[in-house]
Amino acid sequence: MSSLVLHDPAKVLESVARATRNGFVAYNNDSKITYFSDRLEEITGFVEAELLGKNFNEVFGFKEVPSFAKTFDVCSRPVVLYTRDGKTINLETRTAQIIEGESEEVRGHLVFFFIEDYRKDLDKAQSEFISTVSHELRTPITSIKGFASTLLQHNALDEEKRKKYIKIIKDQAERLSRLVEDLLAVSRLESKKLQLTIHPVKIKAIIENIALIIESKYKGSHRIEISATDVVPDVWVDSDRLEQILTNLIDNAVKYSPGKDLVEIKIRPSQYEGKEMLRVNVIDYGIGIVQEDIRKVFTKFGRLDSPLTRKTEGTGLGLYISASLAKIMSGDLQVKSEGGKTTFSLYLPIESHEGGVVWWD
């Protein structure tokens, strides 16, 4: 049935709410919300009391109230539902007119949100996440167990082999530690339980230090050239989080440009979305990113499928974490790739303010 003929709308809506796992909203002819089901409260974080009387289209981002050609028409559409903490959920909806009494007077509209489909997608995503994490954990754990067992069972191993096996165990333990740290970072980001200490930071010194560490790590296989304007303004960020982002970007630039010897870092003032920002471009001349994969690089476990990435260690979480941290600190992270030249552009705020310790919540 595409329209509801109600003699007591409030009681009918209460009954429907108890009978379905899906959510719905009712609003009157003035587009004011009159009912908000508890199922929607569960997934959005909003409560009915704070939404009653508010404009439906403004709350849910509908551009206009559905128009009906006939009394019993129904409007179906996919929508983007915004949660209280700013996340988005894609849902299918059905909208019907609410008709009261024999006069068939239109009293408002009822919008059903199909939450069950969303829950299935959520369960699927969670299952894929667990599967990927299990795979990433299994590799270092298997190596650690295997080489530790070899050391315990063969006392006659020469010193060179013992050192080699111990180094493998150490490297795999560090890989495991990095994965755990990345997973904890993802958890804090998604639960918005992240403490930041915002203060003015001299970014060039941080970049120079990271460059030295990474050049040493890769035994001088790449030259990291840093260029900057004569005066580099301080950026207002959390210095630890900034170092985390820059380390990931510069390390990736070296790791994914084998056979090349140059990584460029350019530090320049810039305008971004109408604000004065500092832009740090990290440029490599390696394997590049095809256009259809550009958006994938900032997703969780978003590793690109190429011969190099398949044999290069990585969790696929670094760029997701980096992009999230940049946005939390009022900046952004963008990427462009063309002809093997890949540029990650990190935008950071330079406008001074009080700063201090804050919780991102």
In this prediction, residue 280 carries a pLDDT of 97
Class in CATH terms, 192-360: alpha beta
Q: Which parts of the chain sit beneath pLDDT 70?
A: 1-21, 61-77, 79-80, 84-88, 100-103, 116-132, 135, 191-192, 301-315, 353-361
CATH, range 119-191: 1.10.287.130
Residue ranges, comma separated, of all CATH 3.30.450.20 domains in the chain are 4-113
Q: Which fold has domain 4-113?
A: Beta-Lactamase (3.30.450)
Q: Is-contact 314 251, C-beta < 8 A?
A: no
pLDDT in tens, 195-235: 888 999 999 999 999 999 999 888 888 999 999 999 999 99
Residue pLDDT, tens place only, 336-351:
998 889 999 999 999 8
> What region, left, alpha or beta, does residue 347 occupy, with left being phi > 0 and alpha being psi -120 to 50 degrees?
beta
| Cβ–Cβ < 8 Å for 97, 112 | no
Residues of the chain with CATH 1.10.287.130: 119-191
CB atoms within 10 A of CB 341: 14
Q: Where in the chain is the domain with CATH 3.30.565.10?
A: 192-360
Strand locations in the chain (E) = 4-6, 23-28, 33-36, 74-82, 88-100, 105-113, 194-201, 223-228, 235-238, 262-272, 275-284, 332-338, 341-349, 356-360
Quick one: pLDDT at residue 20? 63
pTM assigned to the model:
0.59
* pLDDT given at position 108: 83
